[in-house]
Amino acid sequence: MPPEPGQFVSPSNYAPTSFRAGSISSPLGHSHYHRTGIMKGSVAPSSASTSTKPSSTISTKPFIVRNGRTYINEPTLLYPLPVDLAELHRQSLRTLMLFQVFGGPTTAPEFSNKPPSSVLEVGCGSAFWSMMCHRYFAQHGHSSISFTGLDIVPLVGSGLDQNWKPDKDMKWRFVQHDMRRTPWPLPDNEFDLIMVKDMAMCLSTFMRDPQTLFEEYLRMLKPGGVLEFWESDHSIRMLRPHVTKQPVMSKPDSDSDSDDSSEDEGDAAKLGAYVMTNNTPLSAPLNPFLVEYNGWVTKGLDALGVSAVPCTLIGPYLLQEADTLMELRSKRLAIPLSEIRWEREGVGGVVTKDGKSYIDSMKRKGKATDSKGGGKGLTASQAALRRTALETVVGMIQALEPVLRDVSGKSQDEWDNWSGKMMNDLLREGGTSWGECLEVGAWSARKKLGSTTS
């Protein structure tokens, strides 16, 4: 059964058998699986899977080790992250976290009662999302979904991890292809669901001019099928004190969006997250390490043609395809990286643009217990969700070391010193208690009925 709102479950509910050690609140107990985008590849074939390997630009030695981290051995690919087990671990945790806050493997309401029959995961990596999707629907009696993964190089089963395999009852196919080469080797009007997850950093300059990618997505999508994106911003902002809407009861004949918005905020609050709207008060972080990181990551990724805030781009891209897509939906969440001081002590006061007006008030010893959100503390599930978000952010900073070190001008010793202090501050000393948060989002749209592309 799917988790109830507010319940942050162990990945063992959905993960393959070999992934069942540990809990989401204890990331070090996990094995290291997950997709890493265009720069990574597929699972090893099992009795239920097939593999297609067209020509590729990758050499006979697909991986290269630099400074103790493993990367794709292809100089023309600008993907900045490593592909070693530590990075796959981080991405698996991020996937499990998104799976939880979005309530399953897809946010599209079309699949609430009838699952898709054919699914494509773009940049599948180890196909972890596909496995989670298969297990989710299989638990509801739907185990015949056909899954296809597309990526540039096989990752799992090629030396980095020999153990992961699809479930025996999972219909799985891997297609190896460099997505910079179009058209992709997949048929027209083939898939009910195309999932594009965490691909902004993988696709580099394609995200600045996405028309070619969207042409491929829409060509392969069936009329009435769903194109869905999951993404996270790479820079960090701070959630300032505010009062969220209280959930209200929907009237049977009500068609107002406000009821849905309130219900969404109520569900997010149970999980420990905040629904983002145009009125959500956000500002630059106060944590000095995250302030420095934001400056470095924005400059470093921009040099690679990557936006540090991809969540701001996907909605407009989908709107540009209004002739072919319909029913555009989105959900954006801010997941604080720890308990926020104003959550426990109450909002109160006037909030200024830089968020500093409430700092002095945080020193008071009285505990607010009014309706403004103070005095309750986090549940174990909420604390686990936020700790997972924090660990994936710290892991991202570590994974981006070459980019950040180059922009900052730090030597290796200077970087190691900064990195150690950053980890201690964020992970042990509560350095994110001012409201620093991870921003994530999900967007989906349907291909218009009768629409065909070629």
Residue 78 has pLDDT above 70, yes or no: yes
- Which pLDDT band, with edges at 50, 70 and 90, does 255 fall under? very low
Q: How high is the pLDDT of residue 38?
A: 32
Distance of CA 417 to the CA centre of its chain: 29
Cβ distance 121 to 134 under 8 Å?
Answer: no
Per-residue pLDDT of 83-133, as tens digits, reads: 888 998 898 899 999 999 999 999 999 999 899 999 999 998 878 899 999
Per-residue pLDDT of 126-174, as tens digits, reads: 788 999 999 999 999 999 999 999 988 777 555 555 566 678 889 999 8
CA-closest candidate to residue 448, choices 365, 324, 264? 324
Residue 21 has pLDDT above 50, yes or no: no
Residue 236 has pLDDT above 90, yes or no: yes
Residue 196 φ/ψ, nearest 5 degrees? -115, 100
Per-residue pLDDT of 360-395, as tens digits, reads: 444 433 333 333 344 468 999 999 999 999 999 999
Residue 448 has pLDDT above 70, yes or no: yes
Which has the higher per-residue pLDDT, 363 or 396? Answer: 396
Cβ distance 123 to 77 under 8 Å?
Answer: no
Residue 302 has pLDDT above 70, yes or no: yes
Percent of the chain with pLDDT over 70: 71
> Other CB atoms closer than 10 Å to residue 51's CB: what's the count?
17
Per-residue pLDDT of 156-169, as tens digits, reads: 555 555 566 678 88
Q: How high is the pLDDT of residue 35?
A: 35
- Which pLDDT band, with edges at 50, 70 and 90, does 52 fall under? low
